[in-house]
């Protein structure tokens, strides 16, 4: 599970990790947001997520603890906390949001970001991310303390950690075959 503020790179790191481990990547925002930014109820989201976390391998972007409680955390073998400094993630979030607004990029459920939902209102993306940053840094050490957590505090640490992850192991059958007879591996 990848945990962080919006704009810290949860999706980017999650996709890279899932590719390296050869497991599915799941973006909880996609499971939560329907057309018109309607949100799934806690029961609906739990029904979508429970079968995923019951499988052997996955990388999930986010936790939605308000709706899912510790469902994802207790199923995860590792929680990756991207605790990047605000000076690093805030410009990324602003750039990403501007690109999405200008390009009218379609997100989950056919939704698109707008200046209004990025800047105006209690749940607007950028004010929400700023508001949650300090609270998350205070809460996470205690809330995540009972889980195996990898806390990464800089992009350099993120890059080094990802590079340290061994690619998915060969199956026992493949490992028994000489390399020339192994099935080709997916990827570039």
Q: Is residue 65 part of a domain?
A: yes
To the question of pTM greater than 0.85 for the whole model, the response is no
Confidence band, pLDDT 50/70/90 cuts, at residue 6: confident
For 149, half-sphere exposure in the C-beta direction (CA atoms, 13 angstrom radius) is: 17
Q: Is residue 155 part of a domain?
A: yes
CATH number at residue 34: 3.40.50.300
pLDDT higher than threshold 70 for residue 28: yes
Q: Is residue 125 part of a domain?
A: yes
Q: Is residue 79 part of a domain?
A: yes
Q: Which domain holds residue 95?
A: 2-165
Q: How far lies 177's CA from each of 22, 151, 180, 182, 187, in Å?
A: 20, 38, 8, 6, 20
pLDDT higher than threshold 80 for residue 173: no
| DSSP element (H, E) containing 158 | helix 155-164
pLDDT higher than threshold 80 for residue 181: no
- At 36 the three-state DSSP class reads helix
- At 11 the three-state DSSP class reads helix
pLDDT tens-digit readout, 11-20: 999 999 999 9
pLDDT tens-digit readout, 63-73: 899 999 999 99
Instruction: Classify burial at 52, counting beta carbons within 10 Å of its beta carbon; exposed 0-12, middle 13-18, buried 19 or more.
Output: middle
């Amino acid at each position: 599970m990848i945990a962080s503020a919006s704009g810290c790179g949860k999706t980017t790191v999650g996709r890279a990790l899932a590719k390296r481990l050869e497991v599915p990547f799941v973006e909880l925002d996609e499971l939560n947001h329907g057309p018109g930014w309607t949100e799934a109820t806690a029961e609906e989201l739990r029904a979508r997520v429970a079968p995923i976390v019951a499988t052997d391998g996955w990388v999930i972007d986010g936790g939605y603890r308000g709706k899912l409680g510790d469902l994802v955390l207790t199923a995860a073998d590792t929680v990756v906390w991207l605790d990047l400094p605000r000076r690093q993630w805030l410009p990324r979030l602003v750039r990403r949001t501007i690109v999405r607004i200008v390009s009218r990029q379609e997100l989950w459920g056919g939704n698109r970001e707008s200046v209004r939902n990025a800047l105006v209102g209690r749940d607007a993306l950028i004010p929400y991310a700023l508001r949650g940053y300090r609270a998350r840094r205070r809460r996470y050490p205690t809330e995540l303390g009972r889980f195996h957590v990898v806390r990464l505090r800089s992009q350099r640490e993120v890059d080094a950690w990802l590079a340290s992850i061994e690619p998915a192991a060969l199956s026992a059958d493949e490992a028994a075959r000489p390399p020339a007879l192994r099935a080709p591996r997916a990827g570039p």
